[in-house]
Amino acid sequence: MYRVLFVEDEVVMRVVFRDLIDWESSGFRLIGMASSGEEALSVLARNQADIVITDLVMSGMDGLELIKRLKANGFPGAILVLSNYSDFNLVREALTCGALDYMLKLDINGTELLKQLNAAAKKIDGPQDGPMSETMLSAELRKFFQNDQAASPQELAETFKRRGAFHLCGVRLRANAWRANTRTKPADQARRIFLQVFPDVDAQIVVMEWDRLLLLIPGSAAEGGDHVGGDHMGGDHMGGDHMGGGHVGGGHVENKLRQAIREIHLYLDMTAFLVLSHPLGSPELAREAFAHCEEAGELFFYPATPPILHLPDMAPQPLPECCHADSVANRLNLLQKGQKPDAAAALLSDILAQCGQDRARPADVRDFIAEVAQKLVVLSKGGLHGAFSAQIAQLRDADSADKMLGCFLDLLSSLRERALVWQGRAIKKEVRDAMAYIHSHYMGKLSLEDVARAANLHPNYLCRLFKQETGETVSHYITAYRMERAAALIASGNTYVRDIAEQVGIDDPFYFARVFKKYHHVTPSEYVARKGTPPP
């Protein structure tokens, strides 16, 4: 894990920089942020850093002086600089003083930052004459399984060859209760437990993400154990004893994994879900098995899924036939009007149960349920109020069917309360036309004149009518809808602030980050970490 210090006197830039990447899952740790050269030296006096990224123009000690001081003090790491287009002479001087490379502030994004960090890490490590260290091997394996270019592909191939046959085990963690202290990544805590459970086995344990790990367990660890899937497993019997000509693994391995699951629950108050492969013998098979592990792991979304799945028993499927957004939204709307909340809850429970039984792909279920919610909000004559926008975003982020059901029932309750205020009054067609136009054009520039033209109204009259009919302004409605869509983009895997901002029609990523926090009560990076957990 490479330790990074960021030096920048602009507060907004520090916030954006912090949110650009998922640091620790990328093999880097952000140890601190300083606002001047003096503060940076103070931080480095207390904490070791491998990479320093500094702005050049700052009040107090500027970036050039900081670089000179670091070099004079024998700083062994790499130095990267940030600059504007107008700072070329300063950049050239910084490179002459010992900086490794530079990045332009206006062009900085997650991809470019990772590229520069990886180049700096390679410079720090220098040529490798012997086997890779444990830390480097974990970083290389993470890149390999994420389809990134490994720095030492030949060494990685030799590592697989030396290990012989092994089982791949994907691990997902889910918090049983939200805890405010998230300084330590849950995956790092779980890794220590797996190391204790497998003390005498050369198991490679790789932290992939904030809440995910990957285990490579030697096939020899399974020898001498009972056959997996035997009757002694009781209620956890998974079936599928023979996979690809080999056993899933010995009872010894699976018993150890179940021990880890129990200890993670006991010590971390988290639930662990595992997907275990049959014995593998090559990097190509391992990468293919990893993709299947990731896919099968999505099925832990459903509460009835056992804690350990075996490949290739399970694979997500398309949505069942009962999942038609218009039909379900209309039925729920009728139940809402008829004051039948229990029947609405039963309908949703049955649909989610059917999805679980058919192993429907959870990402499709999230999209389907969110679409139902949006249609129901419109049918309920409630507009897309800011509170509903946040609730729909929670539906898209739910990490379990139970949480999704709870969020939807809360939405139904909110809509019933809203209906009492509206007293059955229908939203006028012109306002619904304006809403529809916003839904279709939020990705680009949206002016009041454009929206008014779509509704065939004068802009001033549209503003009064929209406020009268929905209780909120046109601009607030546009912003609320954009923030809902931004949350959906994060849920789908897009974690670059600049990209998300552009896709919801906002040019300035700094402004976007501030507005996102206002609506969701957390920054974009915190929202990624809290997927499926309602904001406080």
Residue 40 buriedness (CB in 10 A; 0-12 / 13-18 / 19+): buried
Rounded Cα gap, residues 199 and 193, in angstroms: 10
Rounded Cα gap, residues 287 and 146, in angstroms: 9
Opening angle at CA 487, ends 486 and 493, nearest 5? 95
Residue 129 buriedness (CB in 10 A; 0-12 / 13-18 / 19+): exposed
pLDDT score for 362: 93
pLDDT score for 224: 41
Rounded Cα gap, residues 113 and 404, in angstroms: 35
Q: Is the pTM of this model over 0.85?
A: no
- Count CA atoms within 13 Å of residue 74 on its CB side: 0
Do the beta carbons of residue 423 and residue 514 sit within 8 Å? no
Opening angle at CA 516, ends 515 and 520, nearest 5? 120
Reading the block at residue 2, the tokens are: 């490479």
Do the beta carbons of residue 174 and residue 402 sit within 8 Å? no
pLDDT score for 133: 55
Rounded Cα gap, residues 251 and 259, in angstroms: 12
pLDDT score for 242: 30
Rounded Cα gap, residues 68 and 97, in angstroms: 6
**Helix H or strand E segment including 397:** helix 386-397
Rounded Cα gap, residues 316 and 298, in angstroms: 8
Do the beta carbons of residue 52 and residue 99 sit within 8 Å? no
Q: How many CB atoms lie within 10 A of CB 218?
A: 19
Amino acid at 247: H
Reading the block at residue 180, the tokens are: 């405010």
Q: Which residues contact 257 (CB under 8 A, 6 or more apart)?
A: 169, 197, 274, 276, 308
Q: How many CB atoms lie within 10 A of CB 344?
A: 22
Reading the block at residue 351, the tokens are: 């649909």
Positions of the chain with pLDDT under 50: 128-130, 178-182, 222-249, 383-385, 423-424, 532-536
Helices 63-72 & 37-46, crossing angle to 10 degrees?
30
In the block, tokens 């969110």 appear at 370
pLDDT score for 102: 86
pLDDT score for 7: 93
What are the backbone dihedrals phi and psi of residue 405, each rounded to the nearest 5 degrees, phi first?
-60, -45
Contacts 24+ apart (CB under 8 A), 515-520: 515/479, 515/483, 516/483, 516/486, 519/386, 519/389, 519/390, 519/479, 519/480, 519/483, 520/390, 520/393, 520/483, 520/487
Reading the block at residue 337, the tokens are: 């009007």
Rounded Cα gap, residues 175 and 160, in angstroms: 33
Q: Is the peptide bond prior to 218 cis by the omega test (within 30 degrees of 0)?
A: no
pLDDT score for 213: 92
pLDDT score for 126: 62
